[in-house]
Structure 1
Amino acid sequence: MSTSDTVSPPKPRRGRPPGRPQGAADGTDQRKRLVEIALALYARYGYAGTTLAAIARAADMTPAAVHYYFKTREQLFDEIHEAHIAPMRTRVEAIFHEHAGDPVSAFVKVAERFVEVAEEHGWIAPVFFGDLLTESQSFRKHVRKKVDYKTQAAFNDRIRQWQADGLLNPGLEPSLVMPSIMSLTMLFMAARRKWKDDPIRKDIDRETIRRHAMALLGHGLGPGKA
């Protein structure tokens, strides 16, 4: 056999080096898509019921492909927290700066903002109320790492000072004021889906919830006897 007839053996195929999943969309777009899918699942199942495997199924991807973008669901929630929750907190803080001498007006404005947020982000209430009320510790443990307890304690002291100055009802428990406002707004906004077959509350809409919260807060937060 001549040299020209010699057939060279095929070169061994190299495995695909680590990196973005083959055939995947642009990395930024894919991450954004996975976050949007996670938020939609949060709205239905909360944080505890939304695993990376569930996100992979909804995205029609393999779990390994999702792991390329987010190693854990905690990492995914961290991104959601920075993109959505942290800005909300900043806006709430700004409202209190804008109404520094009128805490009743500030809390009413915050309640209005919470109604808007619940309308814009259907996952907020199911995550914070559903998961905080379940026996699962996974969400609470992760969220606690993001809570600035010193800032919360300072805000509670600020409420006590407003009470001492006669600007807020002295019968209020400072640590329960913000959770109460969230319950009046975000929780009721989320409950609307459950009330579709409720003969008494089926017609409750966003404006009704907003008006109810404004009326209740305007009197319940006003200065008066304990």
Structure 2
Amino acid sequence: MSSVTKPRRGRPPGRPSAQPDGVDQRARLIEIALGLYARFGYAGTTLAAIAREAGMTPAAVHYYFKTREQLFEEVHAAHIVPMRKHVESIFQAYAGDPATAFVKVAERFVDVAEEHSWIAPIFFGDLLTDENSFRQHMKKQVDYKMQEAFHARIREWQAEGKLHADLDAALIMPSIMSLTMLLMAARRKWKDDPMRKHVDRETIRRHAMALLGHGLGPVKA
């Protein structure tokens, strides 16, 4: 009696099987995306790139995230929204002292950049290249009415003499991000730079606090 070879059964339809390590695939893919953001920014982090890094097919990644925008929306909700709420709480706590509030915000940005190495590359990547995919995506996430209200409040603080009159309301937060997050990202490039290899997290924090707190002039007695 000849043996009959049964046809191999394919994987049943539905959710792709989990990796052998048991890590939830969705969370795993997001972590891989964050690592790619840190190396290549938002523009360089496609679903195909995530699939290659994860050792999966693009179709398998597509099961979890239809587009990279959808993936980033989860990153935005999990990381950027809480950061913004924290910043808002700082201004609420120091409503009568905006100069101190901005210094506290800068200190928080140093901590955020330390915790999330991907955040500076995605925020500054578009600014340093002709790529605008991240900027276009973020337009959907920004509450421009709230942002304009904040700029109006800055101008009120200036009129009240609580902030320097020459500051531009639209440039304060980008300037603070550059002074903190951008430098935190740049320090990885300075390991072999004889002039800046000493720069670490505490150096950047101290520098930002001094520059924002006292400007470039000597400390007044």
| TM-score normalised over the length of structure 2 | 0.90
Say which one has the larger Rg: 1
Q: Does 1:190 align with 2:209?
A: no
- Contact 2:18/2:25 (CA < 8 Å) preserved in 1? no
Q: What is the percentage of aligned positions where both structures have the same residue?
A: 75
Alpha-carbon shift at residue 119 of structure 1 (Å): 0.2
Amino acid at match of 1:92: V
Aligned partner of 1:52 among 47, 51, 68: 47
Aligned to 1:125: 120
RMSD: 2.3
Aligned partner of 1:153 among 148, 156, 171: 148
Q: Equivalent residue of 1:32, what SS? A: helix
Distance 1:196 1:26, change over 3 A: closer
Q: Equivalent residue of 2:80, what SS? A: helix
Alpha-carbon shift at residue 23 of structure 1 (Å): 4.8
Alpha-carbon shift at residue 139 of structure 1 (Å): 1.3
Q: Specify every segment of 5 or more residues in structure 2 that has no aligned partner in the other structure, as ranges.
A: 217-221
CA distance in 1, matches of 2:190, 2:23: 38
Alpha-carbon shift at residue 219 of structure 1 (Å): 2.3
1:24-103 correspondence runs (5 A): 24=19, 29-103=24-98
| TM-score normalised over the length of structure 1 | 0.88
CA distance in 2, matches of 1:116, 1:49: 25
Q: Equivalent residue of 2:131, what SS? A: coil
Give a deviation string over 1:134-179, Cα, whole Å, max 9, x none. Answer: 2122111111110111111000000000000010000100100000
CA distance in 1, matches of 2:18, 2:45: 25
Between Structure 1 and Structure 2, how many residues are aligned? Answer: 215
CA distance in 1, matches of 2:213, 2:161: 15
CA distance in 1, matches of 2:143, 2:215: 27
- Contact 1:185/1:210 (CA < 8 Å) preserved in 2? yes
Alpha-carbon shift at residue 97 of structure 1 (Å): 0.2
- Contact 1:20/1:27 (CA < 8 Å) preserved in 2? no
Distance 1:150 1:25, change over 3 A: farther
Q: Does 1:136 align with 2:131?
A: yes
Alpha-carbon shift at residue 132 of structure 1 (Å): 3.1
